[in-house]
Structure formats: C-alpha cells, structure tokens
Amino acid sequence: MVVLKPSDSVLEAARAIEHNRIGAVAVQQDGRLVGIATDRDLTVRALGQGLDAASTKISEVMTPNPLTLSPRDDTADALRLMTERNVRRIPLVEGERIVGMVTLDDLILDEAAPLEELAEVVEAQIGEGGPADSERAPGRRRSLVRAETTLNRLVNLVHEEAGLDDRDQARAALDVVVSSLVRRLNAGEAKDFVSQLPSLLKPHVRSLPPGPDRSVTQESIEAELVARAGIDEAKATSVFVAVANTVLDSISPGQAEQVRSQLPKELQKLFEPGV
C-alpha cells in the first residue's frame, strides 16, 4: 500500500503505481484518508483529459471520500460494498487513518466467499456484456470466477516458489516464461501444452506464431524477465527455473516430460535434479 498527499502530482502517483506494481494509491492529509487514486482514474481523468501529469495534483483526479471498512469488518461487508458500489478496492481505516486495503483479487485468491457471491461482484465489475440467457448467466459467472481462482492459485505458487516481490511481478514472470515455452515448442506439442494451462492464459499464448522459434534461449528468456517483470539480473536464472518448474508441476507428468524433451539441451539441463 502506498500513501501520498493531495498535493503530490499525477506523475508521482503513476510512478508509485508502476514501481510498486499496485492498482491504486491512497491519498491522506493530516493523518486522515481523503481519497483514492486508481490507475483508471489517472488514465481517464488525467491522460484522457489532456492534463499535464507533472503539474496536475492527485486531488484533481482522485476519488474523494472513498468507501471504507474497518479491519474488524468481515468479508460479507466487503462483498456487499463491492457489489453495490461497483468497486474493486476498499481502504481499511482505524479512526480516520488508513491501515490497509482489501481488493477483489484478495477475496478471489483466498476463496473468502462462495463462488456465487464472488460471481456477483465480478458481474458488477464487467457488466452484463450484452443480452444473455438469464438462466445460463449465473453459470457463466461462476465459470469466470473459477477461471480467475485457478489462475490466481498458479500466480500465488509462482510468487512463493520464485521468491518474487508481489503477485503482479509473479503474473508478469508467468506470462514471460509460459509464452517463451510455447514459442520454443513445435506447433503440435505447444497445442497440447496450452490445453492444460489455466483458461485465462490460453487466449494470449494461442495467438503466438507457431514454433519452434529457435531464437528463444535461456539468455532471451532471462532478458525478458528483467525487462518485463523487473527481475534482478542476478536472480533471473533462478526465477526462470522456479517459474518453469511451477508451471510444469501444474500439468500432467507426461505432458511436462514432453515439454522438457523438446527443449534444447541448454534448457533441459536447467531442469535436472539439483540444479
């Protein structure tokens, strides 16, 4: 959680969101929460209006007097507010001072409520998306929540196994490694591999050009981890191995072995026991 002052600039808020890989900053003045500025606020209210990010104050684009909860409130209170007010993040305050933030992703990842309740929040966030069969819509919403939960579990495992800073960095590292593996496999093996991945990862990797792309090497993967996921260069190899092994452990042993067998020897050696 990052807390800024109303007089800080939109540019400072954007940099804080980028550097800390978060979706919003809290705005506090004299020990009192006065607003919240999300990445969407900065995009729509500042960039979209042609405002100068360096001279525009956060107070001009933030959402003032945001909804809040106490750390002692329960999950049901958070779900109710998220559904009724169409928000993904709720600051937690004691007195008037912010002490934390609960997000929709937290609730989904921790399976903090039944799927039906989480699905109502997801529906409030994305809207109906056009005409729908009312009897089938709840099933679609539950499927979406299950898909998000499955992906978040894998991201959380990557976060823990690779020792990364946060889940946003873990998601970026996961995207880099999965995309690299798919590109390095031949088209048939890549299709079988992708079929066992979480459904929310599939659309992007299915759009990649068919392989094998021999320009994908250990060096290229690690360079992409540094550039896209902000991984320290000295940790790039260990992060790559941890992420790849976590992904391969999440699919069937036979499929994992097929993936390993198609990799060049320089990459196969990274996955040998004890490496």
Per-residue pLDDT tens over the stretch 111-150: 666 666 666 666 655 554 444 444 445 555 556 667 777 8
- Comma-separated ranges of CATH 1.10.490.110 domains in the chain: 162-271
Q: What is the CATH number of domain 1-66?
A: 3.10.580.10
Q: What is residue 22's three-state secondary structure?
A: coil
Q: What is the rounded average pLDDT of the residues 239-246?
A: 93
Q: What is the rounded average pLDDT of the residues 31-56?
A: 90
Tokens found for residue 48: 């979209």
Distance CA 237, CA 219 (A): 9
Per-residue pLDDT tens over the stretch 202-220: 878 888 888 899 999 999 9
Q: What is the rounded average pLDDT of the residues 59-77?
A: 89
Instruction: Give residue 34's pLDDT.
Output: 92
The CA-atom distances, in angstroms, between 243 and each of 58, 64, 71, 75, 246 are: 37, 40, 33, 31, 5
Q: What is the rounded average pLDDT of the residues 259-266?
A: 89
Instruction: Name the nearest CA neighbour of 190 among 212, 158, 217.
Output: 212
Global confidence as pTM: 0.54
Q: In this structure, what are the phi and psi dihedrals at residue 24, rounded to the nearest 5 degrees?
A: -165, 155
The contacts of residue 10 (CB under 8 Å, 6+ apart) are 37, 42, 46, 51, 53, 54, 56, 57, 58, 60, 61
Instruction: Name the nearest CA neighbour of 35 among 6, 11, 8, 56.
Output: 6
Q: Angle at the Cα of 130 (from 124 to 132), degrees rounded to 5?
A: 90
Q: Which fold has domain 67-154?
A: CBS-domain (3.10.580)
The contacts of residue 163 (CB under 8 Å, 6+ apart) are 235, 239, 242
* Choices 3.30.70.600, 1.10.490.110, 3.30.70.270, 3.90.79.10: CATH for 162-271: 1.10.490.110
- Comma-separated ranges of CATH 3.10.580.10 domains in the chain: 1-66
Per-residue pLDDT tens over the stretch 224-234: 999 988 999 99
Q: Where are the alpha helices (DSSP H) in 162-217?
A: 167-184, 187-195, 202-206
Quickly list DSSP for 221-259: HHHHHHHHH---GGGHHHHHHHHHHHHHHTS-HHHHHHH
Which secondary structure element, helix H or strand E, spans residue 63, and what is its range?
strand 63-64
Mean pLDDT (the chain) is 84
